[in-house]
Amino acid sequence: MKTIKLFMRLFAAMNSSLRLILLIALTVTLLGMVLAQSKDWFGVCIRNCAQCKRMFGPWFAGERCANACIKFKGKLTPDCVDADSIAPFLKKADEDD
């Protein structure tokens, strides 16, 4: 609580142009963090589908997995050791993608 009060005193003592610069810098920093984090699911999708494809070989539809994962924006990320999460992508050896 003391830290917040100290920050508020310092902020009130600043002139308006310095406040504006501080607020812009804070906004840009937070926006950058949000944008960087929002794309993390994409890499996770591709890596997890590729890992499952390496583990299960011809019995795993890797491309179908990646397409579904990207379509749902990472909400259905496959976990190779969780049968429920990869069941839609398992196939018979003679089945085509």
Q: What is the pLDDT of residue 81?
A: 93
Render pLDDT for 34-66 as a digit per residue (tens, 0 to 9): 666 656 778 888 899 999 999 999 999 999 999
Better-scored residue on pLDDT, 57 or 7:
57
pTM value surpassing 0.75: no
Residue carrying the six token digits 């589908």: 49
- Cα distances (Å, whole numbers) of residue 21 to 11, 12, 27: 12, 14, 10
- Cα distances (Å, whole numbers) of residue 87 to 8, 10, 11, 77: 54, 57, 55, 12
